[in-house]
């Protein structure tokens, strides 16, 4: 560890220097939002000044002086200010996460305004110089969490003792551990392998030296203070030689799930008492987001049982309001409210932004066509069709004897209207947008196959993403970025239940497929005796019953996406895998409609392709968004799983 400024607490143990990148992160992050205790601001400013000027004077008071209560509190607020800086470093990752998680998949494409970096990402030909390829923001967060975690372990060793009572130091320690695990997990999903950064490497300069070393890295003098730290005695003072080691996805997940399971006593300091803000805990790492991260990592690893265990801790909870179940809180026209504000009924972990605190992002810059925004990304035709080819209220006359006699008697009404048009995307012509009535007319003309009428409405129309424009004006550029929310976790559970094999009371293998269908359609997997009405993912937008509901049957009929006429049928009798794959594909389509542009689409497709051992699953879906002359090239490129990653560390 580099030479450290030293501060003595009431246990006569040193508090080592916390780096500037921790304390200065994005204006000390965001949680001054409702008059949070001014002591944090005061101590954070002093702490930052101390780092930038003379840390010796600030951190080394007369060691013979007995500490006052004020000084004891200042230690805690220094730590709290530092963890705020870590959240600021997380804010710096959101554009990279969204672009790489969506533009490489099938739901986003570039416009003629796209810059060279976005063009590279779209074409899946990403150079090391591309700003979205750079691991630097991950390294900054890892370096900062390394320093923070090492400092806490040295100065408050009780965080490592599971037998001691839980206090706020344990909780903030849990936040930092989650943040570090999350950084590695997201990095390895992007790069395929990442260098493991020893906890003793705790600045971005040291990390870059380590990465650029030929195979071993000799750290500068590492100082460990004596047990009392009183006279700056050291136990040892020597060089540390570290081997450069790369972790692949499996190793990252196994390492950090083990670390979180064995080291975390509690997660998340709740300042609700001080700031009267009950959304606080979903904008920091908490028990809820800890469990979701664990479930997500185990799902990616393919350990469905462990993944389900952690997701069920979130979904089947005993809180008073049964948060994170799918009820009518965001039903029908209220679904868009998920993106207006932070709401603990749906949001599990959200990275919060606020223009007034100079915390902004480039989402509106990339997506909006008006004002000073640049309109560089837009929804693909495939994305728009996922909403526009949903039908509610249809009536079908089935004939399972003469199957070709099955007929659509009434097509119903097209469009996943509550999640799609006006909330996730819009049609625009210049600065004008297509009003809802004309949008519905256009869909009706498509049903009637009146192409000229469709063209008369849609001439010169373009599509835009609106999900990040709902909560503010065009110049605010401070839309929140949702990492985890209830809709996504419920769909993860449906995905698991579709594949989950277990033994029933008679020792026979059974499946949880009905639970998967219930999660999607009507929420009846929950205890329906409860007073809270469950609706299901599709149910809360009016698509969970009748012909609109998902179902798995031996005879499966197909329908024209734009007319809803019957076009054919398949006999899946006795073909369990075909039924399983069909439901899995339906779940992935539902994830696209529910979670479009939220950063996970590319990794959803990767996960299914890896589970099936079939790269063509991903290659086919993604290549379809490219024009004919390029489609086969992209398809062939993606048949090689090594091309799914940015090979930055080759």
In a domain, 604, yes or no: no
- Ranked by mean pLDDT, the top range of 340-349, 517-526, 587-596 is 587-596
In a domain, 579, yes or no: no
Q: Which residues pair with 305 in a beta bridge?
A: none
In a domain, 192, yes or no: yes
Q: Determine phi and psi for 462, rounding to 5 degrees.
A: -125, 170
- Of 90, 88, 1, 84, which Cα lies nearest the Cα of 47? 84
- Of 206, 201, 202, 176, which Cα lies nearest the Cα of 87? 176
Which pLDDT value is given to residue 618?
98
Q: Which of 60-64, 146-150, 438-442, 502-506 has the lowest mean pLDDT?
A: 60-64
Pairing state between β 501-503 and 509-511 = antiparallel
Through-space distance between the first and last CA atoms of the chain, rounded to whole angstroms: 28
Contact 144, 177 (CB under 8 A): no
For the full predicted model, state whether its pTM sits above 0.85.
yes
DSSP category for residue 102:
I
Query: For the range 407-413, what are the long-range contacts, defined as Cβ-Cβ under 8 Å and sequence gap of 24 or more?
Result: 407/566, 408/559, 408/564, 408/565, 408/566, 411/447, 411/563, 411/564, 411/565, 412/547, 412/548, 412/564
Which pLDDT value is given to residue 321?
73
Q: Is the pLDDT of residue 8 over 60?
A: no
Q: Which of 425, 441, 474 is the last residue of a domain?
A: 474
Q: Which of 235, 270, 305 is the last residue of a domain?
A: 270
Q: What contacts 31, CB < 8 A, 6 or more positions away?
A: 84, 87, 271, 275, 280, 283, 284
Q: 567-603, pLDDT tens digit by residue?
A: 999 999 989 899 999 999 999 999 999 999 999 999 9
In a domain, 190, yes or no: yes
Contact 65, 31 (CB under 8 A): no
Q: Which segments of 480-614 does DSSP mark as H helices, in order?
A: 486-499, 513-521, 576-595, 601-612
Angle between helices 287-301 and 249-263 (to 10 degrees): 150
In a domain, 533, yes or no: no
Q: How many C-alpha atoms does 321 have within 13 Å on its Cβ side?
A: 10
Which pLDDT value is given to residue 235?
46
Domain encompassing residue 162: 20-91+135-270
Q: Work out the burial of residue 452: count CB atoms within 10 Å of its CB; fewer than 13 is exposed, 13-18 middle, 19 or more buried.
A: exposed
In a domain, 66, yes or no: yes
DSSP category for residue 459:
T
Q: What contacts 175, CB < 8 A, 6 or more positions away?
A: 83, 86, 267, 268, 269, 284, 285
Q: Is the pLDDT of residue 649 over 60?
A: yes
- Of 526, 447, 14, 1, which Cα lies nearest the Cα of 222? 1
- Of 641, 608, 638, 642, which Cα lies nearest the Cα of 626? 638
Q: Determine phi and psi for 306, rounding to 5 degrees.
A: -70, -40
How many C-beta neighbours within 10 Å does residue 437 have?
8
371 and 259 in a single domain? The answer is: no
One-letter-per-residue 3-state SS of 5-23 = CCCECCCCCECCCCCHHHH
- Of 8, 56, 62, 47, which Cα lies nearest the Cα of 225? 8
Q: Which of 429, 456, 474 is the last residue of a domain?
A: 474
Q: Which residues pair with 391 in a beta bridge?
A: 414
Distance, in Å, from the CA atom of 500 to the CA atom of 520, rounded to the nearest integer, reads 16
Q: How many domains does the chain have?
A: 2
Tell me how many helices (H) and strands (E) the chain has: 23, 19
The two tokens of residue 326 are: 């799918």
Query: For the range 621-629, what are the long-range contacts, defined as Cβ-Cβ under 8 Å and sequence gap of 24 or more?
Result: 621/105, 621/106, 622/104, 622/105, 622/106, 624/106, 624/382, 625/106, 625/109, 625/380, 625/381, 625/382
Comparing 9 with 181, the larger pLDDT belongs to 181
Per-residue pLDDT band for 640 (boundaries 50, 70, 90) equals very high
Per-residue pLDDT band for 352 (boundaries 50, 70, 90) equals very high
Per-residue pLDDT band for 226 (boundaries 50, 70, 90) equals very low
- Residue percentage of the chain with pLDDT more than 90: 68
Q: Is the pLDDT of residue 420 over 90?
A: yes
Q: 109-145, pLDDT tens digit by residue?
A: 999 999 999 999 999 999 999 999 999 999 999 999 9
Q: What is the mean pLDDT of residues 467-496?
A: 94
Q: Is the pLDDT of residue 197 over 70?
A: yes
In a domain, 149, yes or no: yes
Q: 307-326, pLDDT tens digit by residue?
A: 999 999 999 987 777 789 89
Contact 218, 241 (CB under 8 A): yes
How many C-beta neighbours within 10 Å does residue 561 have?
15
In a domain, 411, yes or no: yes
Q: 10-63, pLDDT tens digit by residue?
A: 333 333 333 333 333 333 333 334 333 333 333 333 333 333 333 333 223 332
Cβ density class 289-317: b for 16+ within 10 Å, e for less = bbbbbbbbbbbbbebbebbbebbebbbeb
CA-based R_g, the chain, Å: 27
67 and 189 in a single domain? The answer is: yes
Q: What is the mean pLDDT of residues 257-271?
A: 93
Contact 395, 411 (CB under 8 A): no
Contact 82, 18 (CB under 8 A): yes
258 and 367 in a single domain? The answer is: no
Q: Work out the burial of residue 412: count CB atoms within 10 Å of its CB; fewer than 13 is exposed, 13-18 middle, 19 or more buried.
A: middle
142 and 263 in a single domain? The answer is: yes
Which pLDDT value is given to residue 493?
96
Q: Which residues pair with 509 in a beta bridge?
A: 503
Which pLDDT value is given to residue 537?
97
Among positive and negative, which fits the CA dihedral 139, 144, 146, 149? Answer: negative
Contact 390, 550 (CB under 8 A): no
- Ranked by mean pLDDT, the top range of 82-91, 95-104, 499-508 is 95-104
386 and 245 in a single domain? The answer is: no
Contact 606, 618 (CB under 8 A): yes
Q: What contacts 247, CB < 8 A, 6 or more positions away?
A: 184, 188, 193, 194, 195, 196, 255
């Amino acid at each position: 560890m580099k030479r450290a400024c030293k501060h003595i607490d009431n246990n006569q143990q040193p508090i080592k220097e916390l780096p500037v990148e921790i304390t200065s992160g994005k204006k000390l992050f965001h949680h001054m939002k409702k008059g949070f205790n001014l002591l944090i601001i005061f101590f954070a400013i002093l702490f930052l000044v101390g780092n930038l000027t003379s840390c010796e004077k600030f951190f080394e008071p007369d060691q013979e002086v007995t500490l006052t209560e004020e000084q004891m509190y200042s230690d805690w607020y220094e730590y709290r200010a530092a963890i705020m800086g870590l959240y600021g470093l997380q804010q710096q990752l959101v554009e990279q996460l969204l672009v790489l998680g969506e533009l490489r998949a099938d739901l986003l494409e570039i416009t003629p305004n796209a810059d060279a970096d976005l063009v590279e990402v779209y074409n899946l030909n990403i150079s090391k110089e591309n700003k979205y390829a750079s691991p630097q923001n991950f390294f900054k967060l890892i370096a900062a969490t390394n320093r923070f975690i090492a400092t806490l372990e040295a100065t408050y060793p009780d965080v490592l003792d599971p037998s001691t009572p839980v206090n706020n130091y344990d909780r903030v320690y849990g936040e930092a551990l989650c943040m570090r695990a999350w950084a590695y997990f997201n990095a390895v999903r992007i790069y395929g392998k990442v260098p493991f950064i020893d906890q003793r490497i705790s600045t971005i300069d040291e990390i870059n030296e380590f990465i650029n070393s030929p195979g071993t890295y000799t750290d500068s003098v590492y100082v460990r203070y004596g047990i009392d730290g009183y006279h700056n005695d050291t136990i040892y003072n020597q060089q540390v030689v570290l081997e450069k080691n790369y972790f692949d996805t499996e190793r990252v997940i196994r390492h950090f799930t083990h670390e979180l399971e064995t080291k975390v006593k509690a997660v998340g300091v709740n300042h609700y008492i001080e700031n009267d803000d009950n959304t606080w805990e979903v904008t920091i790492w908490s028990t809820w987001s800890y469990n979701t991260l664990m479930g997500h990592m185990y799902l990616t690893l393919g350990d469905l049982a462990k993944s389900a265990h952690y997701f069920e801790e979130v979904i089947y909870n005993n809180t008073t309001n049964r948060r994170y179940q799918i009820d009518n809180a965001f039903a029908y026209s209220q679904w868009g409210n998920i993106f207006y504000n932070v709401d603990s009924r749906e949001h599990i972990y959200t990275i919060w932004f606020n223009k007034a605190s100079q915390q902004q992002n480039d989402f509106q810059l990339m997506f909006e066509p008006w004002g000073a925004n640049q309109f560089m990304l837009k929804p693909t035709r495939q994305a728009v069709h996922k909403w526009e080819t949903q039908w509610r209220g249809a009536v079908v006359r089935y004939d399972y004897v003469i199957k070709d006699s099955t007929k659509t008697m009434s097509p119903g009404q097209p469009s996943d209207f509550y999640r799609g048009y006006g909330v996730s995307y819009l049609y625009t012509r210049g600065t004008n947008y297509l009003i809802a009535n004309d949008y519905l007319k256009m869909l009706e003309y498509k049903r009637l196959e009146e192409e000229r009428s469709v063209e008369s409405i849609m001439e010169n129309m373009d599509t835009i993403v609106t999900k990040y424009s709902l909560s503010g004006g065009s110049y605010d550029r401070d839309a929140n970025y949702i990492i985890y929310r209830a809709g996504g976790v419920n769909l993860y559970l449906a995905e698991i239940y579709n594949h989950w094999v277990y033994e029933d009371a008679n020792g026979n293998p059974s499946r949880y497929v009905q639970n998967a269908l219930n999660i999607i359609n009507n929420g009846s997997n929950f205890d329906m005796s409860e007073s809270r009405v469950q609706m299901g993912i599709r149910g809360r937008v009016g698509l969970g019953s009748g012909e609109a509901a998902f179902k798995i049957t031996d005879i499966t009929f197909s329908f024209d996406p734009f007319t809803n006429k019957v076009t054919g049928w398949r006999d899946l009798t006795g073909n369990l895998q075909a039924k399983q794959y069909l439901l899995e594909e339906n779940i992935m389509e539902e994830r696209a409609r529910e979670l479009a542009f939220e950063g996970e689409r590319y990794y959803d497709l990767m996960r299914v392709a890896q589970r099936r051992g079939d790269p063509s699953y991903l290659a086919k879906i993604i290549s379809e968004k490219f024009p004919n002359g390029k489609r086969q090239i992209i398809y062939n490129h993606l048949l090689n799983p090594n091309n799914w990653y940015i090979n930055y560390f080759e």
